[in-house]
Structure 1
Amino acid sequence: MGQSEWERVLGTLAQDPERGFNLAHECCGRWAGDRDRLALVTRHPDGSAQRHTYRELFRLANRAADAFAAAGLGRGAKVGVILTRQVEAWIAALGTWHAGLVYVPLFCGFGHDAVAQRLNAAGVDAVVVDHRWRAVLEAARPLLRRDIQVFTVTGADGDGLLDGDRDFAAELEAGHPVTAMAATAADDTAVVMFTSGTSSEPKGCVIPHAGVIALLPWLDHSVTAGPDDVVFTTTDPGWSFGLLSTGAAPMVRGATRVMYTGDFDPGAWLDVIEQEGVTCLTSVPTAYRRLVTAGRDIPASLRCAVSAGEPLDAATADRWRRLTEAPLRDGYGQTELGMVLADLASAESDPVPGSLSGAVPGWEARLLGEDGEFIDGPGRGEVVFRRPPYQLSSDYANAHELWESRVVHGEWFRTMDIVRRDEDGRWWFVGRNDDVIVTAGYNVGPGEIEAVLGSHPAVLEAAAVAAPDPQRGSVVRAVIVLADGVTPSAALTADLQDLVRREIGRHAYPRVVDYVPELPKTVTGKIRRASLREPLVEAG
């Protein structure tokens, strides 16, 4: 099925990757001839909204490309971007791709050290920054190894514009000479996307213009978003899931996308879904946990929802089913690969929370044992993928040797993630290689324990890590965020321990249980287990 799937995908594109491929045209320009096709709705906490058709968005992106060219940024120059869920992020992205530049998104929550580290690693020549984070960029400038030009998205009355800055909005209206769309090749770099760095230094994933093709099988077979859909994109475009998986990929299909600029608020999200007629919701498990406890119905316009970032727990999925008929499908991917395992719309049975129904069409997955050999049939090991014709990333900008080490047996890409495949062919996430807990001679996956703990009605979220023990070397430690109104107690701790003991086994039950107000997470919503392996917090 693999090759025929890629042939199908290529037949849906506006460009032939073998003859040239520009991401700005594929996800926006191809639709600009339809003056009424809505591309992006940006909703604000006060209820106001901005609406941009593909035609208008492409026009603004072309002006951004003209402004970059007028500033002397030539083909292949790198443009850092410190923007969030705002239309300027998309004007800047499309403009860089149009001009043959490289887009380097940075999360707006970074401090100046993190910003400087990434700008240096990527070799950035210019930065587009919102006025809210202009001071952070200024604090990073003494640490940079090269001078940069700054384009500032100003606030009211020009707030945030410093001496030497270019006003981004003014540049779009300046009437710069028109630049033709760059004739980029499919493998030319479009994006350098830094990973979230859960357990190591962030790596700059090199994403070519045609990298988006790797996401289309997942979009078509799991999200099932098409030109008539309205997709609520909740993830920040500073990360690949927001910029590419649920950003550029739905635009390739001509869908309308909705962004909300405020902080996460379940009620506000449900209002947006209802008022904009959202048909597809994309988010992380943490958000779904909050939505199902908001005490409101899920709007009837919603026909599907997808989750990614962490395994979807059974309790949340069950509550979702009781609230809506819209299926909630889980997915797994990496910036290096794309979205590669998922609950598929064509699956004969309903999704099983905590697992994934199979590999996305076009992708082939296998298990790799500790001895480096493949495991056939049911088993547990590192999941690896045969490299397809199109992969989201092609290299690490700052760690080429590490990238090369990820390829084994000639054509299989290592994920560093441990999973279990059951007799039905379903895939169950166990944990990162460095997250697996070794206790009394047993290997215990944190994902299994977290799923069981999350099924308890008193538990909102749970994480499992190793804790040192003089007799066993390590024991399982559970870190719990309790549901609203629940307080810690010895009886509750015993109940949670017994639950894991019954569901998984005595070897896996948490001998240490701590209660915390919230779990440490990356900005993409993944549990930062490395932080939890530090000295124990006091039990609540």
Structure 2
Amino acid sequence: MNGRTAVADRVWQQVEAGLSRDPGAGLNTAQEVCGRYASAAGRLALVVRHADGSAERWTYGELDRAAARAAAVFARAGLRRGDRVAGLLSRQAESWITAVAAWRSGLVYVPLFCGFGTDALAVRLRSSGARLVVADHRWRAGLDDALAALDPAPEVLTVTPGRRSAERSFWAELDAVTADGPAVETAASDLATLLFTSGTTGEPKACAMPHSALLAVLPFARYGLGVGRRDLLFTSADPGWAYGLYSAGAAPMALGVPRVIYDGDFDPDAWWRLMREERVTCVAGAPSAYRRLLGPLAQQGVPAELRAAAAAGEPLDADTAQRWTAAGAPAIRDGYGLSEIGMVLCDLADGAAPLAGTLGGPLPGFAVTLVDASGAPVPEGTSGLVAIRRPRYTLTAGYENRPEAWTARWQDDLFVTDDRAVVRPDGRWQFLGREGDIIVTRGYNVGPVEVERVIGEHPAVAEVAVVAAPGTRGGTVVRAVLVAADPAVPRDEVEQAVRETVARRIGPHASPRVVDWTDALPRNEVGKLQRARLRSSS
């Protein structure tokens, strides 16, 4: 055993020792993120701040009791171990009540991003086989449109402003429960979550996340976020994605770290007020959010207790990082991860000071290297594809609906990504971009094929290609390049129509900010679209 392997083994041994029981004897995510702390009276788990300034405060015990009642509701609806329950929810307490209830019952939780349109919802619900959906009333109309395309359609419980409504109310059902639902014994390898990630071809991949997935992100909470019980973590990440649900959600909860979330639309001033009034010590968000927080930072100064800031979801640009630090805020620690493995590269909480535009290196417990497309190491100082040697625990055990795509990702013991990076002479990592075509915008992954399919249905569009483009305020936006089928139709009408259609059917995050027209899309000799040429022309 070499020194690096010995260090990794010690990290994973510490992770295992921090659980409430030996994972080899059984592991349940609900127990680790909530149940283990439920008996500690008054121990804060979650603060939910609303747009009107009001707040809910949930202890671990209160979350545990609500989840136990939700588990009873699911059982009364006929759900049994292994069945799937979906959550069309966002940054709200119900997201965590639903997830914890599913995990404790041996059900499989299917998180759905609230920004998905009808097509995106229908694809994920059909593929997952979800039998029940807990949906916030704000997104019920889009869900109903998606359900119309499903046969059979899952049952729906709606989170409404009042506890009773004309629809089946989530809270009314919980209020009617007289006994707790099942709490089953699960193994570390049992499926806990089915989370869909975007892909460039075919339907979105269904990441099968076992109960052991939680362990894969605990090193990030300890060494990347660097949070402990005395911290209050404000995370803006949506729990419809892996970072919000696991890395900045379940992992800190498992460490007993209280969190605060904001359930309103993004408002930089409201976020700043929240951090100041709640005395937040650590904030985690996408670089695009930090860019918009620069205004309140310059006007109001740094909240007194804020000591740490972390970013992930898209590359952190140097301008944002430098302006943030120059204003007196703690340097933003950048991070890189993926739904398949977890967070693997970051600036460590106790490591060297962050350097804008770079990453500190691999997280303890992970071995990350650069390879070519065949999995062979690249020469020192040259760029390569980011590859992760199989760690003891991974966030995903496979793609449920596309096993061949999962197998193709592995070169022997290396998970080879489409992301290109280089290791600088000082040992820091520099992310160069995505080798493939996934568009990372505002912290979300957008699959271009999904967007192209929707735009291509417009009768005035003959062909379409969707690629990433630099945003006018930094970051990356979605760019659609169209070939006209009917030149007589005004182009501005077509552009407005495709933007609105993509926003409605896939989500506003996927709607093209840039629309260009061309006589023909660039293709190679066999007719394959050359996206790289489109990206270079943006």
Q: TM-score range by the shorter chain?
A: 0.7 to 0.9
Q: Could you say which residue in structure 1 is the equivalent of 2:355?
A: 352
Question: 2:336 aligned with 1:332, yes or no?
Answer: yes
Match of 1:128 among 130, 134, 140: 134
- Residue-by-residue CA offset, 1:69-100 (whole Å, 9 max, x unaligned): 11110001000111111111111111111111
Q: 1:404 to 1:157 in 2, by over 3 A?
A: closer
Q: Could you say which residue in structure 2 is the equivalent of 1:460?
A: none
| Letter of the 1:310 counterpart | E
Check whether the contact 1:309–1:526 (CA below 8 A) recurs between aligned residues.
no
- Residue-by-residue CA offset, 1:385-409 (whole Å, 9 max, x unaligned): 011110001111211110011110x
Q: Could you say which residue in structure 1 is the equivalent of 2:181?
A: 179
Deviation at residue 156 of structure 1 after TM alignment: 3.9
Q: Could you say which residue in structure 2 is the equivalent of 1:150?
A: 156
Question: 2:394 aligned with 1:391, yes or no?
Answer: yes
After superposition, residues 439-478 of structure 1 pair within 5 angstroms as none
Check whether the contact 1:70–1:177 (CA below 8 A) recurs between aligned residues.
no
Q: Could you say which residue in structure 2 is the equivalent of 1:225?
A: 227
Q: Could you say which residue in structure 1 is the equivalent of 2:90?
A: 84
After superposition, residues 156-235 of structure 1 pair within 5 angstroms as 156=162, 158-159=164-165, 161-162=166-167, 166-197=168-199, 201-235=203-237
Match of 1:64 among 65, 70, 75: 70
Inter-partner Cα distance in structure 2 for 1:223 and 1:524: 29
Q: 1:526 to 1:310 in 2, by over 3 A?
A: farther
Q: Could you say which residue in structure 1 is the equivalent of 2:489?
A: none
- Residue-by-residue CA offset, 1:441-465 (whole Å, 9 max, x unaligned): xxxxx99xx9xxxxxxxxxxxxxxx
Q: Secondary structure at the match of 2:350?
A: coil
Q: 1:390 to 1:368 in 2, by over 3 A?
A: same
Check whether the contact 1:70–1:176 (CA below 8 A) recurs between aligned residues.
no
Check whether the contact 1:196–1:524 (CA below 8 A) recurs between aligned residues.
no
Inter-partner Cα distance in structure 1 for 2:290 and 2:144: 37
Question: 2:321 aligned with 1:317, yes or no?
Answer: yes
Q: Could you say which residue in structure 2 is the equivalent of 1:27?
A: 33
- Residue-by-residue CA offset, 1:27-68 (whole Å, 9 max, x unaligned): 001111111110010001111001110011101001111111
Structure 1 unaligned residues grouped into runs of 5+: 437-445, 451-475, 484-517
Deviation at residue 12 of structure 1 after TM alignment: 1.1
Moved more, 55-64 or 166-175: 166-175
| Letter of the 2:396 counterpart | S
Q: Could you say which residue in structure 2 is the equivalent of 1:103?
A: 109
Query: What is the Cα-based RMSD across aligned positions, in Å?
Result: 3.0
Inter-partner Cα distance in structure 1 for 2:195 and 2:268: 29
Q: Could you say which residue in structure 2 is the equivalent of 1:37?
A: 43
Check whether the contact 1:435–1:529 (CA below 8 A) recurs between aligned residues.
no
Q: 1:83 to 1:128 in 2, by over 3 A?
A: same
Deviation at residue 380 of structure 1 after TM alignment: 0.7
Check whether the contact 2:117–2:506 (CA below 8 A) recurs between aligned residues.
no
List structure 1 runs of 4+ shifted beyond 6 angstroms: 520-534
Check whether the contact 1:309–1:525 (CA below 8 A) recurs between aligned residues.
no
Number of matched residues? Answer: 462
Q: Could you say which residue in structure 2 is the equivalent of 1:342?
A: 346
Match of 1:366 among 344, 362, 369: 369
Question: 2:138 aligned with 1:115, yes or no?
Answer: no
Q: Secondary structure at the match of 1:356?
A: coil
Moved more, 522-531 or 265-274: 522-531
Q: Could you say which residue in structure 2 is the equivalent of 1:433?
A: 435
Check whether the contact 1:311–1:355 (CA below 8 A) recurs between aligned residues.
no
Q: 1:526 to 1:155 in 2, by over 3 A?
A: closer
Deviation at residue 303 of structure 1 after TM alignment: 0.8
Match of 2:57 among 45, 51, 55: 51
Question: 2:378 aligned with 1:375, yes or no?
Answer: yes
Deviation at residue 191 of structure 1 after TM alignment: 0.7
Deviation at residue 528 of structure 1 after TM alignment: 9.0
- Residue-by-residue CA offset, 1:232-252 (whole Å, 9 max, x unaligned): 021111111111111111000
- Residue-by-residue CA offset, 1:129-178 (whole Å, 9 max, x unaligned): 1112222222112311433121111234845x44xxx3210111112443
| Letter of the 1:358 counterpart | G
Q: Could you say which residue in structure 2 is the equivalent of 1:402?
A: 405
Match of 2:240 among 238, 242, 250: 238
Inter-partner Cα distance in structure 1 for 2:437 and 2:131: 37
Q: Could you say which residue in structure 2 is the equivalent of 1:418?
A: 420
Match of 1:259 among 258, 261, 281: 261
Inter-partner Cα distance in structure 2 for 1:305 and 1:524: 28
Q: 1:422 to 1:407 in 2, by over 3 A?
A: same
Deviation at residue 102 of structure 1 after TM alignment: 0.6
Question: 2:309 aligned with 1:305, yes or no?
Answer: yes
TM-score, normalised with respect to structure 2: 0.80
Q: Secondary structure at the match of 1:355?
A: coil
| Letter of the 2:122 counterpart | A
Q: 1:266 to 1:9 in 2, by over 3 A?
A: same
Deviation at residue 23 of structure 1 after TM alignment: 0.4
Q: 1:199 to 1:479 in 2, by over 3 A?
A: farther
Check whether the contact 1:232–1:282 (CA below 8 A) recurs between aligned residues.
yes
Q: Could you say which residue in structure 1 is the equivalent of 2:294?
A: 292
Question: 2:484 aligned with 1:481, yes or no?
Answer: no
Inter-partner Cα distance in structure 1 for 2:370 and 2:128: 33
Check whether the contact 2:321–2:331 (CA below 8 A) recurs between aligned residues.
no
Deviation at residue 220 of structure 1 after TM alignment: 0.8
Check whether the contact 2:367–2:389 (CA below 8 A) recurs between aligned residues.
yes
| Letter of the 1:204 counterpart | A
Inter-partner Cα distance in structure 1 for 2:507 and 2:232: 22
Inter-partner Cα distance in structure 2 for 1:533 and 1:407: 37
Q: 1:533 to 1:176 in 2, by over 3 A?
A: farther
Check whether the contact 2:44–2:57 (CA below 8 A) recurs between aligned residues.
yes
Check whether the contact 1:367–1:384 (CA below 8 A) recurs between aligned residues.
yes
- Residue-by-residue CA offset, 1:331-367 (whole Å, 9 max, x unaligned): 00001110000011232x3211111111000000111
Q: 1:359 to 1:529 in 2, by over 3 A?
A: farther
Inter-partner Cα distance in structure 2 for 1:523 and 1:41: 30
Q: Could you say which residue in structure 2 is the equivalent of 1:498?
A: none
Inter-partner Cα distance in structure 1 for 2:405 and 2:272: 43
Inter-partner Cα distance in structure 2 for 1:212 and 1:89: 17
Q: Secondary structure at the match of 1:146?
A: coil
Deviation at residue 215 of structure 1 after TM alignment: 0.6
Moved more, 222-231 or 317-326: 317-326
Structure 2 unaligned residues grouped into runs of 5+: 1-6, 442-466, 475-498, 519-533
